[in-house]
Amino acid sequence: MIVERITEWNDTVSAELRQAVGYKTVKKKAGMKKFKRYFPLFLLMIPGLLYLIVNNYMPMFGIFIAFKNINYSKGLLGSEWIGLQNFEYLFKTSDAFIITRNTILYNLVFIVLGTIISIAIALLLNDIRNKVLNRFYQSIIVLPHLISFVIVGYLVYALLSVDSGLLNKTILPMFGIAEISWYTEAKYWPYILTIVHMWKTVGLSCIIYLASIISIDPEYYEAAKLDGASRWQQIRKITLPLITPVITILTLLAIGRIFYADFGLFYQVPMNSGAVADTTNVIDTYVFRALMTSGDIGMSSAAGIYQSVVGFVLIVFSNYIVRKANKENALF
């Protein structure tokens, strides 16, 4: 229900907004007129804009912390400037390569697999005609998203524990396989982490895809059916092309965060096991391990900035590519 309503509302509003924003291109007089006409809509924009400014732009003021040696008695502004010294530790480690590789590869896998699985589930959900069941599945599938990673960590532990884990004590013996010490074997973790991540996040993103699938005009499908198109053909020729803009936007946004790793996933789920760090160490866990004792905010901000800058470059670059391919799908 909500999903449908939101998409409906989205459609009408965005159409109006598109007109409203387009006023610049028209003559100035007409522009003023339009501005007046859409004034209430601009008013509607204010709370969102304020939220964005307070939450996303004002904190940017704090960027300078990364370039200072913070001394609390001198205050944030009074502390001395030390240039790029706070960034040094990020590259001091011989693991810098492993960490960067892990961060980016995991995120790439998550983006690709996540998109495919979410769309697949959205398509399946879309075809469930029974309203009650549909709602039920949607809720079940979103549920993991609401569970804290600390708890997820223990759920996984209940499966993998050497002492009492379900896998080691019940499932593996059934197949006659010997106990596996999961928390010391790095090679299993790429799979475990991917599965956990999918289980946790697919629910929410599939709802977004579902929303855009539902908003597709049913007439397309009716026409296709008349022409004798199979289900598979309908999906390929109608659904997928029509939700491509959503896919591109979500993917572009995800690429912007490719240099951020989900701290909960990579720290809590392997239970901070150093033995599997080769496949679980990412930038965020490295920074945490490096600074948890000193709690240096200058150095932690440096890591944050480094990630943002790389993310920013990547997003501009991939948007550029998308623009080349199809201008309409690009973010900006």
Helix axes 39-52, 2-21, angle to 10 degrees: 110
Instruction: Provide the residue type at 153 as one letter.
Output: G
Reduced to 3 states (helix: H, G, I; strand: E, B; else coil), residue 68 is strand
- Nearest distance from residue 269's CB to another protein, in Å? 11
By CB under 8 A, name the one of 13, 116, 223, 275 that touches another protein. Answer: 275
How near is the Cβ of 85 to another protein at its closest, in Å? 7
User: Which ranges of 22-95 would DSSP assign to H, the alpha helix?
Assistant: 28-37, 39-52, 75-78, 88-92
Which CB atom, from 38 or from 67, has the smaller least distance to another protein?
A: 67
Q: Considering only residues 100, 126, 134, 161, which one is a binding residue for another protein as defined by CB under 8 A?
A: 161
Residue pointed to by tokens 């982490």: 193
User: What whole-number distance in Å separates Cα of residue 162 and Cα of residue 168?
Assistant: 6
Residues 195-234 as x/- pattern, contact with another protein by CB under 8 A: ----------------------------------------
Among 2, 12, 61, 175, binds another protein (CB under 8 A): 61
Closer to another protein by Cβ: residue 154 or 221 = 154
Q: Is residue 171 at the binding interface for another protein, with CB under 8 A as the rule? A: no
Buried b (16+ CB within 10 A) or exposed e, 43-58: eeeeeeeeeeeeeeee
User: Contact between 97 and another protein (CB under 8 A)?
Assistant: no
Listed in sequence order, the residues at least 6 apart from 179 whose beta carbon sits closer than 8 Å to its beta carbon are 162, 168, 172
Are 208 and 141 spatial neighbours (Cβ–Cβ below 8 Å)? no
* Binding residue (CB under 8 A) for another protein from 29, 94, 130, 178: 94
The least distance separating another protein from the CB of residue 168, rounded to whole angstroms, comes to 10
The half-sphere exposure of 11 on its side-chain side, counting CA atoms within 13 A, is 12
Determine if 188 is a binding residue for another protein (CB under 8 A): no
8 Å CB contact between 133 and 139:
no
- Shorter beta-carbon distance to another protein: residue 220 or 260: 260
Per DSSP, 66 falls in state G
- For another protein, which stretch binds (CB under 8 A), given 8-16, 43-51, 114-122, 274-282? 274-282
Binds another protein (CB under 8 A): choice among 20, 216, 240, 271: 271
Q: Is the dihedral of CA 121, 113, 232, 219 positive or negative?
A: positive
Pick between residue 44 and residue 82 the one whose CB is nearest to another protein.
82
Closest to 218 in 3D by CA, of 190, 242, 184, 193 = 242
Q: Which is nearer to another protein, 23 or 260 (CB)?
A: 260
Residue 17 or 76: the one with the smaller Cβ distance to another protein is 76
65 binds another protein (CB under 8 A): yes
Q: Read off φ and ψ for residue 80, nearest 5 degrees.
A: -80, 150
Stretch that binds another protein, among 4-12, 85-93, 188-196, 204-212 (CB under 8 A): 85-93
The DSSP secondary-structure symbol of 258 reads T
Residue 213 identity: I
Span interacting with another protein, options 71-79, 197-205, 207-215, 226-234, rule CB under 8 A: 71-79
Pick out residues in 230-269 that bind another protein (CB under 8 A): 260-263
310: its two tokens: 């790389």
The verdict on 59 binding another protein (CB under 8 A) reads yes
Q: Which residues bind another protein (CB under 8 A)?
A: 58-62, 65, 69-76, 85, 88-89, 92-95, 157, 161-163, 181, 183-184, 260-263, 271-275, 277, 281, 283-284, 286-297, 299-301, 303-304, 307
